[in-house]
A and B are shown apart, each in its own frame.
Chain A
């Protein structure tokens, strides 16, 4: 079964990337620089996911207002900055996004 071999291979490499760092790194004594570098992982990775998703939802740079991702994200960022409240950020951001979509059709 060709496709099952493929799936097994994909499963093995995926697990092989996920598990070792999680399980091993914590048991090592890391140099101070490495520990400080790890502090930047959430901000770096999440921003790297968000920015292209917002600026180029269809793969190309889209700065038009019809691209509801952009104003939706700006509204969400403002709410997050002012309130630091995750749930409120999600609700207001999602609301702004859906409203803009409905308006610009």
Chain B
């Protein structure tokens, strides 16, 4: 855990804590680069997509649809739906970044991914009063972005040589990290109800297209958690939010 609350210290902690995601991201980036080029995107456009869109699942789906000759309007709409979950991440992180200027929020918003969200929300929720948690956020974002660009490049240049990469199971690094983040959160009954509901709905709705199952599962989990809270009659205050607001006030 980063004990030195300096900008540099937070930045590098963010990079370091994102390492499992980096490992997990490499095969995806390489495979994307290789698949996109064989599906008819030019190498420049493939790299451009990683640089400008920076959304793994949406890019895979986009390249796949492009190969099938699907029109741009449909692909853009699909991208929107696939990425809807990022709105939840944004809302969840918003209370912690509200003091930041748009000079910070623009790049942090552009760089928001599943991986960085998972790593960074954990840091924001830690009770210490480091004033530089957004530097941790920056470190995680820059690390993921660089990882995605480099691995896309490798995929474009030499993708065909890495055909076996998908079978190595490096994606389990992401799964196991998410487990390590979620499980310690499940200390109250409403949290447990939330997770069980979200997991159940996600499994049942896995067949839905465009990651809509994930969205449905997340919303069902949140609703179930709130309902469980209400049933238990314990209207717990939003601790983290209050703590964050409190810290902000003190700083101001």
Contact = CB atoms under 8 A, between A and B. Distances in A.
Interface of A: 2-27, 32-33, 35-56, 59, 61, 68-69, 72-73, 76-77, 79-81, 84-86, 89-90, 93-94, 97-98, 101
A2 B72 CA distance: 8
Contacts of B20: 90
A51 B199 CA distance: 5
B183 to A, nearest CB: 4
Q: Give the interface centre of B75, B118, B177 by most chain A CB atoms within 10 Å.
A: B177
B109 interface: yes
Contacts of A77: 179, 183
24 contacts: A3-B41, A4-B48, A10-B53, A10-B59, A10-B75, A17-B86, A17-B90, A18-B110, A19-B112, A22-B93, A36-B237, A37-B226, A40-B225, A41-B91, A42-B92, A42-B185, A43-B191, A55-B203, A59-B206, A76-B175, A80-B182, A86-B180, A93-B172, A93-B176
B203 A38 contact: no
B175 A47 contact: no
B198 A44 contact: yes
A24 B94 contact: yes
A48 B199 contact: yes
Given A22-B94, A41-B88, A73 B176 contact: yes
Contact of A42 (B52, B118, B237): B118
Given A17-B90, A40-B222, A44-B218, 17 more contacts: A3-B42, A7-B48, A9-B79, A12-B76, A13-B77, A18-B110, A19-B106, A35-B95, A38-B238, A45-B214, A51-B202, A59-B206, A68-B169, A76-B180, A89-B176, A94-B172, A101-B169
B58 A14 contact: yes
Given A5-B72, A9-B76, A41 B218 contact: yes
A25 B180 CA distance: 28
Given A13-B79, A36-B238, A94-B172, A21 B87 contact: yes
Given A13-B80, A27-B98, A49 B203 contact: no
B218 A94 contact: no
B246 interface: no
B179 A51 contact: no
A94 to B, nearest CB: 6
Name the prevailing secondary structure of the A interface residues: helix
A17 B179 contact: no
A39 B241 contact: yes
Contact of B90 (A6, A21, A27, A61): A21
Contacts of B199: 47-48, 50-51
A93 B179 contact: yes
Contact of B109 (A7, A18, A89): A18
A94 B173 contact: yes
- Across the A-B interface, give the 3 residue pairs with the lowest CB-CB distance, nearest first: A26-B98, A21-B90, A44-B221
Interface in B79-113: 79-80, 83-98, 102, 105-106, 108-110, 112
B238 A39 contact: yes
